[in-house]
Amino acid sequence: MATFLMLLTIGLPWIGAICVWWIGDRRPRWQHILATGFSVAAGAASILLLAFSSSGVALRIPVGGFFGDFTLVPDGLGVFLAVIAAVVGSLAVIFSVDYMRGKQQLGRYYALILLFIGAMAGLGLSGSLLFMFVFWEITAFCSYALISFHNDDPKAVAGGIKALIVTQLGGIGLLIGALIIRSQTGNYQILDFLANAASIQPSILNLIAFGFLAAAVAKSAQVPLQTWLPDAMEAPTPVTALIHAATMVNAGVYLLARFYPAFRDVPGWATSVVTIGLLSGLLAALMALVANDIKRCLAYSTVSQLGYMVYAVGTGSVFASQFHLLSHSVFKALLFLSAGAVIHIVGTRDMREMGGLGRDMPFVRAVFVIGSLALVGLPIANGFFSKELILEGGLMHGPRWAYIGMLLGAGITACYTLRMVSMVFYRKRGSVKASHDAPVAMRISLGTLSLGVFTTWLLAGAFGELLTGSLPYHQLQTSKTFDLALELLNAPATWLALLVILLGFALWMMHKQLKPLIVFLRPLSRIAENRFGFEHLNQGVIRIARSLSSVLRRTQTGQLNWNIVGIVGGLGIVLALLTWRI
Amino acid sequence: MNPTTLKLCLMAVLSLVGIGLYGLMICRNLIKMVIVLQILVKAAALGLILAGQMSSQINLGQSLGITVIVADTIVAVVGMALAVQVQRRLGTLDVDALSSLRG
C-alpha cells in the first residue's frame, strides 16, 4: 500500500503535467481543471501516505551496474516533505486558477509546476542518493524555468539563469558527496550510509559533510549564496510561494537534518552550520528591513527563517528545525500568496506606492496579518511554537553568542513584519488603489492556509511520533503537544524572546521619535541596501570567469592540425599515466 | 610466432601510427589528410590481425581487420566527397580556411 501511494504521489503530478501540456493552450478551461484535479489528488495520496510511514525500504527496483538500486523509503522526514510539496502545491495551483486566468502559455506553466511537485515528493521519498540527486536537479530545472516564465522580460531571464547557476554549485557538492559515499559503502543507499558512517575514514567523512553543507547552503539560499533568491522574485507569485518559500528551498534543511546523525561528530561541521544559520538569519532580516519591494522583503524573510532552521540543525534540534520547516512553509506560503493577491489586484510590487489597502481588501488584510503573526512568532500561531522550540534548543545545546544573535534576529523580524503590514495595509492612502477583494479560488487557498497557521502546531506531538518512529539513526527529543506547549510557556527563554519581539514592534512604532538613532544607523542601512556586498562578490566571480575564459579562448584556434596535436598529446599523457601506475 | 617476427610486426604497426599522426598534424591539404587517415586506419587493421595472431584467435582478428577495411573505405569516400564540396564552395582545399571551429 505504501509503495502504491508513494508512486501515486510522485506519478500523479507527472501524468498531470503530460496531460496539461498535451491538451494544449487552446482549451485553458480544461488546463485549469486538469492541473487542479491532479495536484489535489496527489495531495490526498500524500496525506494518506502519512498513515503508512515506516523506516524500511518499501520499493526496490534494480537499475543495474553503476546506478545501483532505485529505492523509495516512506520514513517520517521524507513523507513529511512529500506532504508539504503536494499539499502546498495543490493550494498554489488552486490559487493560480485566478492568478493566471487569461494569461498566455498556461500549458508550460502548469506542466512545470506539476513536474516540480512530483520531483519534490520524489526528492523526499527517494532512498538512493543518486536518484535523490536526479530529483534535486529536476527541481532546480523547474525553478529556473518558472522564474524565467515571462521569457520576454530580461530581468526574469537573468534571475532564472542566476538561480540555476548558483543552485548548481550546490548540486555539484551533493553529487561529489554521493559518489564518495558510493566508493566507500558500495552503494547509494542512505540507510546503509547512516548505518556505516562511523566506519568511514574521518578525512573522507569530512569531505562528504562539507559537500552536503555546500549543497544545502546553495539550495536553501543561505549566506554567502543567498543572492539568487531575491532575484527569483520575478517568477509568478504562486510559483514563488510554492518553490521559493514552501518547498524547494527547504530541501537544503532537509538534507542537513537527514544526514545529521552521520555528520554530528565531524569536527567543525556543527559550528559551521550554526554560523551559516546565524549569519543568514541576521543579515537577511536586516536586508528585509530596508527592502521596498514586497516580494523581495518576503524573500529576505524566507532566507532569514531558513537560517533559523539551519541553526537549529547545527545545535542538534533536528525536530525543532523540521517543525519550523512545517510552520514556515504554511505561513510563508500564505504570506506570499496574499502578497500575490495584492500584486494581482493593485498591479505593483513597490510598497512605497501602496498604503491603506486594508479598507479595499479586508479579506487579504486579515490573512496577511494572520501570516505575519506566525512569522513574528506570537502565541497561538504555529510560528510561535516552532521558533521558541528552536531558540530553546539553541540556548541549551548551542553556543551562547549564536543564541544572542538569533534572539536579536527575532526582534528584527518583528520590526520588518510590522513595517511591511503597515506600509501595505495601513498608513494613509498611497498612489495605487485596489478595485476589489480577492476572488473565490484565491480565497479558498488563502483560507485553507490561514486555518493551517492556527492548527498545524497541534500536530507537534503526532509529528514527533512520526519522526521518532521511523528514523532509526536520529536521537530526537519529542513530547506530546500539550506537554510541549506547557514546557514552552514555562521556559524563561520564551518570555525573553517575546520581550525582544515586543521591543522590535516598539522600534517600528516609534521610528518617528527615534530619528537620532536612525540617523546614527544610516551607514548600516546603506550597507544593507547594498545587500552587504554579496552582489559585488558575485560580480567579481563573473569577472574572473570572463577573463579566464578569454585567456583560455586562445587555445581554441579552430585549426584542425592543432586539435590533432591536442588529441595526440592527450593520448600520450594518458598512456604515460597508465604505464606509471602499472 | 617467433619473437623477431612479432617485434617486426609491432614496429610496422607503431610506425604506421606514427606516420599517420604526424601527417595529420602537419598536412593542410584535405585530400592529403584523407590519405593520411587511411594510413592510420591501416595501422589499426594490422594491429587487429597481429592481436588475433598473438591470442590464437586468428579468425576473429582477420575478420575484424577486413571489417575495418570495409568501414574505412566508406570514410575515405565520404571524406573525398566532402573535399570536393569544400573545393567548390571555398575554392581551396586548405583546412585552415575551415576555421569556423574557432572559439
Phi, psi angles (nearest 5°) of residue A535: -65, -40
Domain positions in chain A are 2-529, 538-581
Give pLDDT, residue B19: 92
In angstroms, the separation between the Cα of residue B35 and the nearest Cα of chain A is 15
Cα–Cα distance between A491 and A486 in angstroms, integer? 9
Residues 17-36 (B) with a CB less than 8 A from some CB of A: 21, 24-28, 33
For residue range A192-246, list pLDDT tens digits in order. 888 888 888 888 898 899 999 999 999 998 888 888 888 888 888 889 888 888 8
H or E segment to which residue A62 belongs? strand A59-62
Chain A residues with beta carbon closer than 8 angstroms to that of B40? none
- Which residues are within 8 A (CB) of A306 and not within 5 positions of it... i.e. 6 or more apart? A220, A221, A222, A249, A250, A252, A253, A280, A328
Is pLDDT at A28 greater than 90 in this prediction? no
CATH class of B3-97: mainly alpha
Apex CA A212: angle with CA A209 and CA A217, to 5°?
Answer: 120
Chain B residues with beta carbon closer than 8 angstroms to that of A564? 21, 24-25
Question: Which of these, A138, A332, A158, lies nearest to A235 by C-alpha position?
Answer: A158
Contact A559 B95 (CB under 8 A): yes
Looking from the CA of A223 toward its CB, the CA atoms found within 13 Å total 25
Question: Which of these, A104, A94, A197, A127, lies nearest to A444 by C-alpha position?
Answer: A94
User: What mean pLDDT value characterizes chain A?
Assistant: 87
**The amino acid at A371:** G
Cα–Cα distance between B45 and B16 in angstroms, integer? 11
Across the interface, of A553, A557, A561, the residue whose CB is closest to B26 is A561
pLDDT, mean of residues A259-284: 89
Chain A residues with beta carbon closer than 8 angstroms to that of B95? 559-561
Chain A residues with beta carbon closer than 8 angstroms to that of B28? 561
Give the predicted TM-score (pTM) of the model. 0.83
Chain A residues with beta carbon closer than 8 angstroms to that of B25? 561, 564-565, 568
In angstroms, the separation between the Cα of residue A545 and the nearest Cα of chain B is 16
SS3 at position A379:
coil
Contact A561 B103 (CB under 8 A): no
What is this model's ipTM? 0.76
Cα–Cα distance between A478 and A481 in angstroms, integer? 9
* Residue of chain B minimizing CA distance to A558: B102
- What the block records as the C-alpha cell of A183 is 566508493
Across the interface, of A553, A559, A565, the residue whose CB is closest to B96 is A559
Percent of chain A surpassing pLDDT 70: 100
A110: number of Cβ within 10 Å: 27
Give pLDDT, residue A188: 87
For residue range A491-528, list pLDDT tens digits in order. 777 788 788 888 878 877 777 777 777 777 777 777 77
Q: In a structure prediction context, what are the per-residue pLDDT tens digits for chain B, which is 103 residues long?
A: 788 888 898 999 999 999 998 998 888 888 998 999 999 999 999 999 999 988 888 899 999 999 999 999 999 999 999 999 888 888 888 887 776 655 4
pLDDT, mean of residues A337-360: 84
In angstroms, the separation between the Cα of residue B102 and the nearest Cα of chain A is 4
- What the block records as the C-alpha cell of A208 is 562528504
Counted across chains A and B, CB pairs separated by less than 8 A come out at: 32
Looking from the CA of A164 toward its CB, the CA atoms found within 13 Å total 14
Across the interface, of B24, B98, B99, the residue whose CB is closest to A564 is B24
Give pLDDT, residue A38: 93
For residue range A442-474, list pLDDT tens digits in order. 888 889 889 988 888 888 888 888 888 777 777
